[in-house]
Structure 1
Amino acid sequence: METGIEYGEFDEGRHVNYWELDRTLQRELRRVYDDDEFEWAEPRLAEFGELIGHTVADNADYVDDHGPELETYDKYGDVHNAVRYPAEQLENDELAYGAGIVADAFEAPPGRDEPMPISHFLGMLQLLCYADAGFGCPVAMTAGSALVLERFDDGDLEPYYRALTSRDYDDLIEGAMFLTEEQGGSDVGANETTARYDDEADCWRLTGEKWFCSNIDAEGTLALARTEDAPSGTDGLSMFLVPHGDPDEGVLTKGDRREFEGPPPGDALNDQLYRRLKDKLGTTAVPTGEVEFDETKAALVGEEEAGFRQMTEMLNLERLANAAASCGLMGRALLESKVQAATREAFGTTIDEFPLMREDLVDMTVDYEAATAYVHEVGRLFSARERARRSDATTEDEETYRLLRLLIPIAKLRTGRMAVDTASYAMEIQGGNGYVDDFVTNRLLRDAQVLPIWEGTENVLSLDVVRALEREEAHEPFTGTVERRLEAVTHPALADAAETVAAEYEDLTGALLALAGEDSEYAQLSAKRLAHYLFEVFTAALLLEEAQADLEDGDGRTAMVARRFVTNELETPDARGIADGDRFVLEAFEPIVHHAPVDPETVAEAVPADD
């Protein structure tokens, strides 16, 4: 059995191996991978965790101070849309893509006969975002673009798909999704960009403006536009691939761009204008700006007027990736906090000896465990659905689809908020240093603040949850899943927590039934509270199921995590718990925070309250 982690041995949360120090991520990926997949992946994840903890983490701090710069025009006044990146960002790009962060989940990696599950991409992305959540954005959009072309392209865009999934950096292109328009925002149906077919040039041409374009100079961007005579709203939108380079010259890859002396000349590029880069709070690594299409060449993806449905498939993966990024940022904030608490001395002892700090670190750890467990359980379901589709399954697993429609928006909604809260408190644990640019918690909080915004705000996602319940009746697979998990929990150490979750589950199902009888206005008013309630009950049942399995395998630590999550999220103690004598966090500090093993025989008595 593993021993605990001594965080006092480290100076800070860098120049370490993030995979080796993240036993939570190890547990979750071991759970969701097949045995042979994990055996293949584990040494590669360890190598990737070492890479991210050293080179990529150092580069990320430099990039935060010296981010990309846009030169819209060359010295002659011609448009050349040149984004200049620091060498450190280009090195990070080459290292991450070369490690297979996108490719492995789409094309069989060396040593395997088939691609890895999407879960592998999410796990690598979580590790990457220990160092830079901003860089996680273009990586996620590259995977999302590949998913769309794999699923909907009729073969005409095969060269772009191959470039999006390349392991060779010279053959690689990155993807992007230009969705937002100034007048529409989250109301995608209000998009005004138009598309017309140019018979002479044998291509589509887009005209319009896109307002919040992350990874602005991606070589393969997906955008929505309305063709002539198409209906209004989302039903009339079609999806197009807009290349950075002139599509008549073929796919402009990273290698092609490097061969030019300086930026590619204007005549090698597509007709569009990168107007400016946004001066953002954080996520400096990804250039975000405004783009004008003016008869810009584009290729139709799939069928006309199916764009919104196709974009939704990409958005599902993007939201799940956003949640994995949130987990990665939380993991780094937690690591920095544990190291600081174990090494910072005050009043003659390290600050992790003080009861209030112990409570904070326990609850930060429990939050991280909950978020990571939830995200990778949803990733497991997503991976299963994609594998079934790739195997040409004649019918889609309707239950999995309906469950994903509910769980994916909740994943992004909850973890984005948790990332902000965790990063904020990690800054506080550092004291004044945490507020200073020289220390990483400053950047973590700035980067975290966009995570509740990207891919849909909390309000937008909450309404999506209500739609999933109303249109897909997603409560049916949800309730079945929770009930099966609770039925599997039999260990005495989990009995009280399981009873609490069962009672809350009954209340939740009652709330769902009551809400079904209310009008639309009240349903919307309740949507956010409902989304968080669904997360808490689902995650509690999931953690209890994992705790049951770990107890059977000889370790009671996950039981402590599950019990604390239930206490924090689903119990309402009298007088806020002040008078109940509960010393759980003091007794459970070493197991939960330092990952020390717990004997299942003693876990039930390990954290008694004083009567």
Structure 2
Amino acid sequence: MEFLQDAPRLPHPFHQDRLLQALIERRVPAERRAALVADLTALGDYACMAYARRLDSTPGEPVLTQWGPWGERIDRIELTPAWREGPVQTTRHAVLAAGHDPEAGPHGRLEQFMRVYLYHLASEFYTCPLAMTDGAATAIKASGNERLAARALPHFLSRDADAFWLSGQWMTETAGGSDVGRTGTVARRDDDGQWRLYGRKWFTSAVVGEAALALARPEGADQGTDALALFYVETKHADGRWRELRIDRLKDKLGTRELPTAEIHLEGLPAEPVGALDHGVRLIAPMLNVTRTWNAVCATATMARCLALANDYARRRQAFGRPLIEQPLHARTLADMQAEFEAAFALTFHVAELLGQVEASAASPGQAKLLRLLTPLAKLWTGKLSVAIASETLECFGGAGYIEDTGLPQLLRDAQVYAIWEGTTNVLSLDTLRALASTGLEPLTQAIEDWLGHDDAQTEARNTVRDALARAMDFIARHDGDPTRLQAGARGLAITLARAAAAALLAASARDARTRDDARPAAALRGFLAHGIDRLVDDDLDPHALLD
């Protein structure tokens, strides 16, 4: 009979995830574990079902039907099964609400992002609008707008699928992505005092949401970023018809194709200011730590899926008389990927925990500064790393990794979005410079020293990390006052700081694991250090000498 290769099978994403199990044991209070484990088990079950469904059916995408059979404009969007299941899965397992649970205190964010980590890929990026909804809830809370909070938060944080609402973030326009100061949407007040928005939003992820936060320039206001206002809008009438907006088309994207991303026109959409009618961008700031943490967690989840499939396949695939896992170079490739992933996991979930502590007023001033610095670092580094690991994963499958119906190419296409959402690598690198100007490097260097400890078994880690930090501090000191050189090296600086923090956190995990006779975290630390920490590029090259 003709040989047929066994396909990779997805291990249960919760039961077989030793990092997640160890994190629960270390960081979640015993009295909170039962409910968390029940949700994580169910989300792992759902992930296995969704993976099998993806392989057994033809993948679908959202479909926009703009016109009804009698000529009326309807702009109906048909969603994939996973998206239709999204409200139930989200509310049933508190994927969003757990992060705002007052009873959870400082543990709420950590417990929430464990749920996000397991749900993400099974959701077909339904987690994207969940991140925006979480960010909207956070921004509205911080605004002090009690009337708006009473209106929106019960829907955004509902545990009832029928009452649950999604919120979008409508910031991007044709004139500017990160450069929101070029926003052209205008807010006008009608004769009844109602604010209405007019303009074009170029990139509205998950336009199917019931609400959104949108930037607009009040009519007659000055130009520039400071004159923008942040508005809250609801997208539909009670009967489900769209309010004063028109969907022009759905984006044809490289990846995240199940996610309906639209270009829209606002044609007098009723809106309510979230706060004062200027400095609207400042009102967005509280949501950035939240949405960037979602991005890092989802990027880390993609890495976990890649490694789960690659490791399973390496035990099923025979080549040259033995399984791939027994081939030294292939085993080393998988081990290198695993070491990088474990470092990313450690950094990402430390940021998630720190976010919960800061929001619950359980953090010191130094920890709040640390969060400000670590959030862009985690987001930018995990975003780039997920692409590298997804690409390497496809190679682990040889030609099958390039075949669409294996589902593997989707991992790489989808991973590319993490380095773009919520700020590109360069945008986040420059934000790191702003964070350093505000907080200094001391909160990070002090935290790294604490994580490294004084164990003789980790001398190599201490020396390697300290050397990288010393070079980073020297780079900052030598180019202080020279923004051109500082900005030109910002990417290498940011990745170096991210890798230094991740290595120190791995060292802390390895030290803790020795008490349980678990040598795997120490092996991950050695593997990560072998790849190096320092990514600084400090030279006097004029880039225009090459570009011209």
Structure 1 length as normaliser, TM-score?
Answer: 0.82
Contact 2:248 2:264 (C-alpha < 8 Å) held by counterparts: yes
Query: Measured at CA, do residues 489 and 78 of structure 1 come closer, stay the same or move farther in structure 2, by a change above 3 Å?
Result: farther
Q: How far apart are residue 168 of structure 1 and its match? A: 1.1
Query: Measured at CA, do residues 278 and 522 of structure 1 come closer, stay the same or move farther in structure 2, by a change above 3 Å?
Result: same
1:198 aligned onto 2:190? yes
Aligned partner of 1:550 among 513, 527, 538: 513
Instruction: Tell me the distance in 2 between the aligned counterparts of 1:140 and 1:219.
Output: 14
1:269-325 Cα shifts (integer Å, max 9, x gaps): 310111100011111221001011111111211232242112122222111101100
Aligned partner of 1:336 among 293, 305, 309: 309
Instruction: Tell me the distance in 2 between the aligned counterparts of 1:145 and 1:63.
Output: 35
Alignment-derived partner of residue 78 in structure 2 = 84
Q: How far apart are residue 39 of structure 1 and its match? A: 4.5
Alignment-derived partner of residue 374 in structure 1 = 347
Alignment-derived partner of residue 12 in structure 1 = 8
Query: Measured at CA, do residues 88 and 402 of structure 1 come closer, stay the same or move farther in structure 2, by a change above 3 Å?
Result: closer
Instruction: Tell me the distance in 2 between the aligned counterparts of 1:229 and 1:401.
Output: 38
Q: How does 1:21-420 map to 2 (within 5 A)?
A: 21-54=16-49, 56-59=50-53, 65-107=59-101, 117-132=108-123, 134-157=125-148, 158-200=150-192, 202-246=193-237, 252=238, 264=240, 268-388=241-361, 397-420=364-387
Instruction: Tell me the distance in 2 between the aligned counterparts of 1:339 and 1:125.
Output: 23
Which stretch shifts more, 327-336 or 492-501? Answer: 492-501
Letter of the 1:12 partner, please give it. P
Instruction: Tell me the distance in 2 between the aligned counterparts of 1:363 and 1:410.
Output: 21
Query: Measured at CA, do residues 371 and 332 of structure 1 come closer, stay the same or move farther in structure 2, by a change above 3 Å?
Result: same
1:24-49 Cα shifts (integer Å, max 9, x gaps): 12223443433433354123212221
Instruction: Tell me the distance in 1 between the aligned counterparts of 2:269 and 2:392.
Output: 46
Instruction: Tell me the distance in 1 between the aligned counterparts of 2:140 and 2:25.
Output: 29
Q: How far apart are residue 114 of structure 1 and its match? A: 6.1
Query: Measured at CA, do residues 332 and 243 of structure 1 come closer, stay the same or move farther in structure 2, by a change above 3 Å?
Result: same
Q: How far apart are residue 206 of structure 1 and its match? A: 0.5
Contact 1:60 1:131 (C-alpha < 8 Å) held by counterparts: no
Aligned partner of 2:439 among 457, 473, 491: 473
Root-mean-square deviation (CA), in Å?
2.3
Query: Measured at CA, do residues 87 and 502 of structure 1 come closer, stay the same or move farther in structure 2, by a change above 3 Å?
Result: closer
Q: How far apart are residue 407 of structure 1 and its match? A: 1.1
1:503-529 Cα shifts (integer Å, max 9, x gaps): 33323322232232x411111101001
Contact 1:235 1:305 (C-alpha < 8 Å) held by counterparts: yes
Letter of the 2:284 partner, please give it. M
Aligned partner of 1:525 among 485, 488, 495: 488
Query: Measured at CA, do residues 325 and 166 of structure 1 come closer, stay the same or move farther in structure 2, by a change above 3 Å?
Result: same
Instruction: Tell me the distance in 2 between the aligned counterparts of 1:451 and 1:143.
Output: 17
Contact 1:134 1:284 (C-alpha < 8 Å) held by counterparts: no
Alignment-derived partner of residue 450 in structure 1 = 417
Query: Measured at CA, do residues 322 and 29 of structure 1 come closer, stay the same or move farther in structure 2, by a change above 3 Å?
Result: farther
Q: How far apart are residue 469 of structure 1 and its match? A: 1.1
Letter of the 1:513 partner, please give it. A
Instruction: Tell me the distance in 2 between the aligned counterparts of 1:80 and 1:176.
Output: 20
1:221-250 Cα shifts (integer Å, max 9, x gaps): 11111113433222112111121113xxxx
Instruction: Tell me the distance in 2 between the aligned counterparts of 1:228 and 1:178.
Output: 18
Which stretch shifts more, 375-384 or 129-138? Answer: 129-138
Long gaps (5+) in structure 2:
1-5, 536-548
Letter of the 1:84 partner, please give it. E
Instruction: Tell me the distance in 1 between the aligned counterparts of 2:221 and 2:368.
Output: 29
Aligned partner of 2:398 among 431, 437, 442: 431
Letter of the 1:482 partner, please give it. I
Instruction: Tell me the distance in 1 between the aligned counterparts of 2:226 and 2:9.
Output: 48
Instruction: Tell me the distance in 1 between the aligned counterparts of 2:56 and 2:200.
Output: 32
Query: Measured at CA, do residues 101 and 551 of structure 1 come closer, stay the same or move farther in structure 2, by a change above 3 Å?
Result: same
Contact 2:97 2:158 (C-alpha < 8 Å) held by counterparts: yes
Contact 1:334 1:365 (C-alpha < 8 Å) held by counterparts: yes
Which stretch shifts more, 119-128 or 215-224? Answer: 119-128
Alignment-derived partner of residue 462 in structure 2 = 498
Q: How far apart are residue 73 of structure 1 and its match? A: 3.0
Q: How far apart are residue 116 of structure 1 and its match? A: 5.4
Contact 1:163 1:173 (C-alpha < 8 Å) held by counterparts: yes
Q: How far apart are residue 433 of structure 1 and its match? A: 1.4
Query: Measured at CA, do residues 274 and 29 of structure 1 come closer, stay the same or move farther in structure 2, by a change above 3 Å?
Result: farther
Which stretch shifts more, 425-434 or 339-348? Answer: 425-434
SS at match of 2:146: coil
Contact 1:203 1:298 (C-alpha < 8 Å) held by counterparts: yes
SS at match of 1:206: strand
Alignment-derived partner of residue 3 in structure 2 = none
1:385-430 Cα shifts (integer Å, max 9, x gaps): 1112xxxx9xx85323322221111111111111111111111111
Letter of the 1:309 partner, please give it. R
Letter of the 2:404 partner, please give it. D
1:128-160 Cα shifts (integer Å, max 9, x gaps): 224355222122122222222222252222232
Instruction: Tell me the distance in 1 between the aligned counterparts of 2:340 and 2:144.
Output: 40
Contact 2:106 2:353 (C-alpha < 8 Å) held by counterparts: no
Alignment-derived partner of residue 544 in structure 2 = none
Letter of the 2:358 partner, please give it. R
SS at match of 2:381: helix
Instruction: Tell me the distance in 2 between the aligned counterparts of 1:62 and 1:47.
Output: 21
1:489 aligned onto 2:483? no
Alignment-derived partner of residue 594 in structure 1 = none
Q: How far apart are residue 87 of structure 1 and its match? A: 3.7
Contact 1:241 1:301 (C-alpha < 8 Å) held by counterparts: yes
Letter of the 1:332 partner, please give it. R
Contact 2:54 2:407 (C-alpha < 8 Å) held by counterparts: no
Contact 2:107 2:356 (C-alpha < 8 Å) held by counterparts: no
Query: Measured at CA, do residues 317 and 552 of structure 1 come closer, stay the same or move farther in structure 2, by a change above 3 Å?
Result: same
Alignment-derived partner of residue 389 in structure 2 = 422
Instruction: Tell me the distance in 2 between the aligned counterparts of 1:439 and 1:382.
Output: 37
Q: How far apart are residue 453 of structure 1 and its match? A: 0.8
Contact 2:80 2:258 (C-alpha < 8 Å) held by counterparts: no
Contact 1:178 1:222 (C-alpha < 8 Å) held by counterparts: yes
SS at match of 2:69: coil
Aligned length: 529
1:154-180 Cα shifts (integer Å, max 9, x gaps): 222223211111111111111111111
Aligned partner of 2:428 among 461, 475, 493: 461
